[in-house]
Amino acid sequence: MNDSPLRSRLVAVLGPTNTGKTHLAVERMLAHSSGMIGLPLRLLAREIYDRIVKTRGARCVALITGEEKIVPAHPQYFVCTVEAMPLDRKVDFLAVDEIQLCADPERGHVFTHRLLHARGAHETMLMGAATMAPLVRRLCPGAEIQFRERLSTLSYAGPKKLTRLPRRSAVVAFSADAVYAIAELIRRHRGGAAVVMGSLSPRTRNAQVGLFQSGEVDFLVATDAIGMGLNMEVDHVAFAGLRKFDGRRTRSLYAQEIGQIAGRAGRFRRDGSFGVTGDAPDLDPEIVGAVEGHVFPPVPSAEWRNPALDFASLQSLMRSLADSPPTHGLRLSEEAQDEVTLRQLSADELVSRRVRDRANLRRLWEACQTPDFRKTTQDEHTRLIGGLFEHLTQGDRRVPEDWMHGQFAALDRTDGDIDALQTRLARVRTLAYIANRSDWLADPQAWQGSARALEDRLSDTLHQSLMQRFVDRRTSTLLRSLHQHAGPVLGGIAADGEVTVEGHVVGRLTGVHFEPARADTALEARALRGAVERAVAPEVARRLGELAGEGDEAFALGDGGVVAWRGLAAGEIVGGRPFKPRVRLIGEFGQDAARERAARRLEAYVAAEASRHLAPLKHLIEAIADGRLRGLARGVAYQLVEQSGVLDRRAAEEHIRALSRGERRILKSFGVRFGAYALFLPGLLTEEAKALGAVFAELAAPRWRPPHDAVSVLPHPVPPPEALSLRGLAAVAGFAIPVQSLERFDALARAAPSARPDLVEAAPALVAAVGWKPAQADAILRALGFVRVKAAEPGETSLWRRRPLLPRPAALAAGPAAAEARAAPSPAPTRKGRRRRPRRPVSSASGPSA
C-alpha cells in the first residue's frame, strides 16, 4: 500500500501500558466502515478477533496470521499479525500496535515498513511506547502525537519468595525450563498455576488464561510474551530472572523491557505492583524509578530493510537486501533468518540453476520467508526450505499431496509429554503456514482445515497435560472458595454422606463426624479444612441440635465404647465410671456450646444403659449412699463396690463371718451372692452387662483384652480391680479366671463322690469341665487353699485336701511362683526344741457356701 493521500489523518497514540491504546484503536476502527489492525502476536490477534466477532459477527471480520486465515466473503475488518497484514487491501482505518518494536533486531524492519508505508484511507493510528515520540516526529513529520497517561499506579513491591507471592500474580521467566520449574513449585505450595508462552497455540493459551481469569488458579507463569498487550487481570508481576537470551546472546533486561512487562500489573483504575522473586536480584533503584515513572530513553533509530527488492537475479536480490537506509533515523537491519537461508541456498547448484527464471526467484524468496516455528538449527531449516523450493519449481509447481500426507501422519498423535506435544504443535504451525499459501498447494482449503483440526487436538491435549502437571484442581478450587467471603460455597451433601465443594469430593459426613478425603500435601489439607468448614459446618450444627434432643431409642452402644446415633458413630466413651461416664464427641466441627450439649446427651444415654445393665451394682451404690445399708453389711457392700462387683472372699472373710443372718439376708436382697471364693453380683455376669463393663474395664487397662469366658494369664503389673471385675473375672494364682468358673468348680467338686468330704479328686474330666488346663489346675488349686495329699501316678488322678478358708489381707492376685512357695511345706525343724502342736479339727464344710 502506498502512502495515503493528504486527507488521511496519521495519529500516534503513545504511552505506557494500561492506557487503553489498543482498546481505543479497536473502537476507532469499528467507527469506520472498514479497517485493519496489525498486532505483534498471533495470540493477541486472536483475542482481538474474538472480541470483534462477539460485537459485529463473524461475517464482517477476517483473521489473517502466518498460520491461520479466516476470511469471509466480504469482510469489513481485518485483524492480523503485523507481518501478515494484506497491505494491498484499501481500508478506511489502519492501526499498528506496539510500534516501538521497529527497534527489534529480528522483526523491527517489518514494523518500520508499516510505520513508513502502511496507511488507511481516512485514518492511521500507531500505538506504542512514549519512547517512540522523537523517532515518529523525525520519520513521520505530519503525525499527530497523543500521549496517554496510565490509568492506575504501578509501584515496586520488592523481593518476595515464590511461596509468599500475593494472589493474582504473574511470574515471568525467560526459558521454558524455568517456567515449568516455577509452575511446579507453585502447584505444590499454592494449588496450581496457568502457563503462558509465546510458543503456545492460541487455543492452548486461551484455555490457560481462562484458568487464571476465572480464578480457578491464582497464579500465572509466563515468558515475556505477556508484555505484548495480552489482557489479563494481573495484580502483581514478579520477575524470576532479569536476563534473557535475545536470539544472539544472553543479556540483562533493558529498563523499558522491564516496564513493558511489569506494566501488565493492574487494569483500568486498579493499581498494580511489580517485584522480583526466586533467584532474581533486587532491582536497581534507578530502574525502579524509571519503571514507576514510565521514563525511559527514547528509541534512537528504527531497523530498516529495503522493501523494493530487485528480482532481476539472485545476486541483485541479495544486493538490494543490503542497501543502506535512505534517511537519518533508520538503521540497516542485520541479516534476518530469511536472508541467511537465502544466502545458504544460493550456494546450491540446483537452486542457482532454477532461479535464473525470475518467477522461480520470487518463489525462492517467498519460501525463505517461512518462519522457523520449529526452532531447529539453521541448517535443518535451510534443508526444509530447499525441499519446499524444489517442489514449488517443478512439475505442477505445487507441494505434493504425498509430502503433506506424510508430514501430517507423523504429527497426528496426542501421546507423549508436554515437550513432545509442543514440538508437534510447532511443526503443525509450519504446515499451517504452508497450507495458508494458496498458490503452494492444489487444495489449500482442505489442508488449512486439516491443519486447524490437528492443531486444535494437540492444543486441547497440551492444555490438559499442562493442567494435570501444574494444577491441583481440587486444591486450587478449595483454596479459591476460602476467599469467596461473599455468598455461600457451592457444595452439597449426598444421601450417603458424600460431601462435594465446587464439584470436588472433599470427604464424607457420617452422623456429626466429617471424614475428609486424603490430602497429599499440607496445602491440600488446609484447603480441605477451610472449604469444609464453610460447606459442612451448618449441617453439622443442625445435626448436633437434633442429637441433643433425641430420646434413648435413637442411640446404641457398640463395640469399643462407640456410641451410635441413628446407626452412625457419634461419640466414644473415653473415661469416667459406668454411672458417670465421659464421652468424647467424634469430629471437630460445630460450636463449642452445641458440641458440649451433644456430648452431655451421649453421656446421659451411656449412664442410663449402665443403670439398666449394671442395675445390681447401681442399687448397691445407692443403698450405701442413702443409708439403707448400715453397720457391717454396709462395710462389706462398700468393699464389694470398691472392687467393682467381685470381692475376693478371703479379703473380707473376717467381716463376712461377723455378719448376722439379717445382714446376710439384706445383702442377698441387693443381689449379693456369697460364693465359695468370692462375693459377687450375678446380675453383672450377663452378656449385656459384661459387654458394657468391658468398655470401662479397657479404659482401666487399655492394652489388656482378656477373654471373659476362659482362663488367661495376668499381665505385670496386675491390672486394677475394675479391669477384672467388670468383665466378671477374678485374679487367682496369676490368672484371670471367670468367677462363674470358680463357682462351677466348687459345685462340681462337692458333687463328685469322695471317700472324705475334705478331699477332692482332681480328675481330668473335672478340670476340663471348668475350662482349666492341667498345667493351670495345680497352681489354681493351691491358690484356692487346697493341699495335694497324693500325687498323680500314670493313669491315676491326684487328691487334694481342702483347707479351712482363713482371712488374709493380701489379694489372691499373686503370681504362680508365689502360690507355689506358699503351698510348699516348710523345712523340717531340728529335733532339738521340737514341740508337738495340737491338731486343729477339720470342719465338715471346708468353705462357706451361704
Chain segment 173-228, per-residue pLDDT in tens:
998 889 999 998 888 888 889 999 877 888 898 899 888 888 888 899 999 878 77
Q: What is the DSSP string of 200-219?
A: S-HHHHHHHHHHHHTTS-SE
- Percent helix, strand, coil in the chain, to 5, is 45, 20, 35
Task: In whole angstroms, give the CA distance from residue 628 to residue 166.
Answer: 74
Angle (nearest 5°) at CA 218 between 215 and 222:
115
pLDDT band at 522 (very low <50, low <70, confident <90, very high): low
Give 241-253 as a DSSP string.
-SEEE-SS-EEEP
Does the structure show a pLDDT above 60 at 821? no
Q: Quick one: pLDDT at residue 160?
A: 93
Predicted pLDDT at 812: 39
Confidence of residue 848 (pLDDT cuts 50, 70, 90): very low
**Which pLDDT score is estimated for 653?**
87
Domain with CATH 3.40.50.300 in the chain: 9-147, 154-293
Q: Residue range 379-402: average pLDDT? A: 94
Which of 606, 596, 597 lies closest to 562 in space, CA to CA?
A: 606
Name the grid cell of 54: 462477539
The predicted structure's pLDDT at residue 680: 93
Contact 729, 708 (CB under 8 A): yes
Asked if residue 741 has pLDDT above 70, the reply is yes
Say which DSSP state 265 is in: B
What distance in Å separates the CA atoms of residue 764 and residue 785, rounded to the nearest whole number?
Answer: 19
Please report the pLDDT score of residue 476 as a whole number. Answer: 60
Instruction: Check residues 346 and 487 and name the one with the higher pLDDT.
Output: 346
pLDDT confidence band for 674 (50 / 70 / 90): very high
Specify the pLDDT at position 229. Answer: 59
Sheet with strand 712-713: strands edge to edge: 712-713, 735-738, 729-732
409: pLDDT strictly greater than 80:
yes
pLDDT at 813 over 70: no
Sign, Cα dihedral of 107, 111, 113, 116: negative
Judge whether 111 and 99 are in contact, CB under 8 Å.
Answer: yes
Asked whether the predicted pLDDT for residue 823 surpasses 50, the reply is no
CB atoms within 10 A of CB 356: 10
Q: What is the mean pLDDT of residues 426-446?
A: 92
How far apart CA 802 and CA 846 sit, in angstroms, is: 6
More confident residue, 194 or 509: 194
CA distances from 398 to 404, 428, 443, 444 (A): 11, 19, 10, 10
The band of 814, judged by pLDDT with boundaries at 50, 70 and 90, is very low
Please give the Cα distance from 91 to 53 (Å, whole number): 18
Q: So what's the pLDDT on residue 529?
A: 62
Percent of the chain topping pLDDT 70: 87
Answer for the pair 136, 12: CB distance below 8 angstroms, yes or no: yes
Of 213 and 835, more confident: 213
The per-residue pLDDT for 843 is 36
Q: What is the pLDDT of residue 850?
A: 35
What is the grid cell recorded at 250? 544472553
Specify the pairing of strand 69-70 against strand 61-64: antiparallel
Q: Which fold has domain 9-147?
A: Rossmann fold (3.40.50)
Angstrom distances, CA of residue 270 to CA of 26, 155, 243, 288: 22, 12, 29, 20
Provide the grid cell at 223. Answer: 515468558
Model confidence at 739, pLDDT cuts 50, 70, 90, reads very high
Single out the residue of 608, 610, 603, 602 nearest to residue 645, CA to CA: 610
Burial class (CB in 10 A: 0-12, 13-18, 19+), 106: middle
Q: Is it the case that residue 825 has pLDDT exceeding 60? A: no
Where helices occur in 771-833 by DSSP H, the ranges are 774-783, 816-823
pLDDT for residue 179: 92
Q: Which one is predicted more confidently, 109 or 797? A: 109
Q: What is the CA radius of gyration of the chain?
A: 47
Residue-level pLDDT at 484: 46
**pLDDT mean over 649-653:** 87
Q: What is the pLDDT of residue 789?
A: 81
Name the DSSP class of 565. E
Weakest-pLDDT range from 380-394, 404-418, 468-482, 829-843: 829-843
Q: What is the pLDDT of residues 285-316, one digit of tens each?
A: 999 999 999 899 999 999 999 999 999 999 99
Average the pLDDT over 138-143 and give the result.
93
Residue-wise pLDDT tens digits, 565-612: 998 899 999 999 999 999 999 888 788 899 999 999 999 999 999 999
Note the pLDDT tens digit of each residue in 1-56. Answer: 444 444 689 999 999 887 889 999 999 999 999 999 999 988 889 989 999 999 99
Which candidate, 532, 509, 510, places its Cα nearest to that of 519? 532
Residue-wise pLDDT tens digits, 752-799: 776 677 787 777 778 888 888 888 888 888 888 888 887 766 656 778
Distance, CA of 738 to CA of 730 (rounded, Å): 6
Over the chain, what is the mean pLDDT? 85
What is the band of 63 on the pLDDT scale with cuts at 50, 70, 90?
Answer: very high
- Residue 151 DSSP code: S
Provide the 3-class DSSP secondary structure of residue 482. Answer: helix
pLDDT tier at 829 (50, 70, 90 boundaries)? very low
Taking residues 402-415, report their average pLDDT.
Answer: 93
In this prediction, residue 817 carries a pLDDT of: 38
CB 179 within 8 A of CB 197: yes
Pick 154-293's CATH classification: 3.40.50.300, 3.20.20.100, 3.10.310.30, 3.90.1310.10: 3.40.50.300
113 pLDDT exceeds 90? yes
SS3 573: strand
Within 10 angstroms of residue 729's Cβ, the number of other Cβ atoms is 30
pLDDT at residue 826 is higher than 60: no
- Distance CA(694)–CA(206), nearest Å, equals 65
Q: What is the pLDDT of residues 69-105, one digit of tens each?
A: 999 999 999 999 999 999 999 999 999 999 999 999 8
